């Protein structure tokens, strides 16, 4: 594929004025021109009009696997958020694949402002300071650091260096089991709710799970005794979408819709997770709805775009969004057709915008942790 021009493409502002129909036609034109050299990945939380142009869609774990398994494409455009594109860059360009392919796969994030508020709640300096402080009270050789995949590459590299591992909401139980075979404690960041909900199901109690607040100078706001008696040290972080769901929302739906099934993501707070009928990853939520009995009623506690898509694709079910408040992933929403078209047309003309390229040293250690994750079932 080769389309050349001497004329620079207009900036993103020029695309914002175009109608979605025109943007869609232009996106498909690029996809046809680039063929198998281009792979567009889309997270389930994306808007429908963006998902329609994605070659593959999935949750964080599925997309990580897709990036790891693909050995043919030259360009990945990731319709997701920053940490996901970083993970794709690390996995798609791992040494053994690079040596076989002979070239580096480019990774593009259509809008660099598409971040993750949860991932931003744990910075590398904060985690390093936490680790050093913990070492003053307990033996850090007896702690396995576990970072949720919703985290920066620098944090994945940290756990890689310290014999730790990455987890997703799909394999968090298996990852914690892996960790406890090696050490008696886990440091889990950045999402406290996933860490807590997963640990509770393993028989670990809340009094064994102190929460580390990076803005508290003394031992993350904990006593030495609390750290010494800990099994899982949780980070004070959360998903702004799933934090919105409350126990009263569950009670309201059960009162208004007798017999309704409550299906939530484990990033929801414990008080919601505990009273839900089913708790599971994005992938599990989709599978549960896919196999649900016709005519059954569901209230789903996860991102709004996904719930609306499930409702549209499963007209034989009664599906509700588990909150009276609109609750969507605002940063994911930044990836729209205008940004996708702009980034693709730049690619086809040989000018990459919004390139994601993880530093080699960070990539090396992140890959160690990610490969451990991919091996845990």
Domain limits of the chain? 12-115+333-359, 119-235, 242-321
Query: In CATH terms, are 12-115+333-359 and 242-321 the same topology?
Result: yes
CA distance 197 to 281: 12
Q: Picking from 61-65, 225-229, 289-293, 364-368, which range would have the lowest pLDDT averaged per residue?
A: 61-65
**In the structure, what pLDDT confidence band is assigned to residue 16 with cuts at 50, 70 and 90?**
very high
> Half-sphere exposure of 336 toward its Cβ, with a 13 Å CA cutoff?
14
Q: Which pLDDT tens digit goes with each residue over 339-363?
A: 999 999 999 988 899 999 999 999 9
CB 87 within 8 A of CB 109: no
pLDDT greater than 70 at residue 253: yes
Buried b (16+ CB within 10 A) or exposed e, 287-311: ebbeebeeeeebbbbbbbbbbebbb
**In the structure, what pLDDT confidence band is assigned to residue 7 with cuts at 50, 70 and 90?**
low
For residue 106, report the phi and psi dihedrals to the nearest 5 degrees. Answer: -85, 145
- 12-115+333-359: CATH number: 3.40.50.10800
Nearest to 149 by CA among 192, 197, 190: 190
pLDDT greater than 90 at residue 138: yes
Q: Which pLDDT tens digit goes with each residue over 176-212?
A: 999 999 999 999 999 999 999 999 999 999 999 999 9
- pLDDT number for residue 3: 39
Residues 6+ apart with CB under 8 A from 298: 260, 261, 262, 263, 289, 292, 317, 318, 319, 320
Q: Which pLDDT tens digit goes with each residue over 270-327?
A: 999 999 999 999 889 999 999 999 999 999 999 888 999 999 999 999 999 998 776 5
pLDDT greater than 60 at residue 329: no
CB 102 within 8 A of CB 70: no
CB 46 within 8 A of CB 54: yes
Q: Picking from 28-37, 114-123, 261-270, which range would have the lowest pLDDT averaged per residue?
A: 114-123
pLDDT greater than 80 at residue 328: no
Number of helices (H) and strands (E), helices first, in the chain? 17, 13
Residues 103-124 have a mean pLDDT of 86
In terms of CATH architecture, what is 119-235?
3-Layer(aba) Sandwich (3.40)
**In the structure, what pLDDT confidence band is assigned to residue 97 with cuts at 50, 70 and 90?**
confident
**In the structure, what pLDDT confidence band is assigned to residue 5 with cuts at 50, 70 and 90?**
very low
CA distance 20 to 336: 9
The secondary structure element, H or E, covering residue 7 is: none
Q: Measuring CA to CA, how many Å separate 263 from each of 197, 253, 268, 302?
A: 14, 12, 11, 9
Q: Measuring CA to CA, how many Å separate 374 from each of 61, 69, 94, 202, 368?
A: 9, 11, 14, 21, 10
- pLDDT number for residue 172: 95
**In the structure, what pLDDT confidence band is assigned to residue 333 with cuts at 50, 70 and 90?**
low
More confident residue, 114 or 336: 336
CATH topology of domain 242-321: Rossmann fold (3.40.50)
Cα-Cα-Cα-Cα dihedral sign, residues 329, 80, 235, 121: negative
Residues 6+ apart with CB under 8 A from 141: 183
Q: Which pLDDT tens digit goes with each residue over 103-113?
A: 999 999 999 88
pLDDT greater than 60 at residue 330: no
**In the structure, what pLDDT confidence band is assigned to residue 1 with cuts at 50, 70 and 90?**
very low
């Amino acid at each position: 594929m080769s389309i050349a021009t001497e004329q620079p493409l207009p900036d993103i502002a020029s695309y914002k004025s175009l109608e979605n129909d025109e943007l869609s036609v232009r996106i498909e034109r690029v996809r046809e021109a680039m063929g198998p050299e281009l792979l567009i990945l889309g997270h389930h939380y994306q808007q429908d009009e963006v998902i329609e142009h994605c070659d593959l869609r999935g949750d964080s774990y599925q997309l990580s696997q897709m990036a790891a398994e693909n050995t043919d494409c030259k360009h990945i455009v990731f319709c997701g958020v920053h940490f996901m594109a970083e993970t794709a860059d690390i996995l798609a360009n791992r040494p053994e694949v690079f040596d076989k392919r002979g070239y580096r796969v480019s990774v593009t994030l259509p809008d660099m402002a598409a971040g993750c508020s949860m991932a931003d709640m744990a910075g590398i300096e904060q985690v390093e300071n936490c680790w050093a402080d913990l070492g003053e009270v307990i033996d850090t050789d007896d702690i396995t650091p576990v970072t949720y995949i919703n985290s920066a590459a620098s944090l994945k590299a940290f756990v890689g260096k310290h014999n730790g591992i990455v987890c997703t909401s799909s394999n968090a139980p298996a990852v914690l089991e892996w960790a406890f075979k090696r050490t008696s404690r886990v440091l889990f960041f950045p999402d406290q709710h996933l860490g807590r909900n997963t640990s509770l199901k393993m028989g670990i109690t809340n009094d064994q799970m102190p929460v580390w607040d990076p803005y508290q100078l003394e031992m993350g706001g904990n006593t030495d005794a609390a750290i010494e008696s800990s099994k899982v040290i949780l980070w004070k972080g959360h998903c702004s979408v799933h934090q919105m769901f409350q126990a009263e929302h569950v009670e309201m739906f059960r009162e208004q819709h007798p017999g309704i099934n409550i299906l939530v993501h484990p990033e929801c707070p414990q008080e919601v997770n505990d009273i839900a009928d089913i708790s599971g990853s994005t992938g599990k939520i989709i599978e549960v709805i896919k196999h649900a009995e016709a005519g059954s009623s569901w209230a789903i506690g996860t991102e709004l775009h996904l719930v609306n898509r499930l409702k549209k694709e499963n007209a034989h079910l009664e599906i509700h969004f588990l909150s009276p408040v609109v609750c969507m992933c605002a940063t994911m929403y930044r990836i729209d057709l205008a940004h996708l078209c702009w980034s693709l047309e730049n690619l086809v003309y040989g000018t990459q915008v919004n390139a994601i390229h993880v530093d080699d040293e960070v990539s090396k250690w992140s890959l160690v942790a990610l490969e451990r994750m991919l091996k845990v079932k």
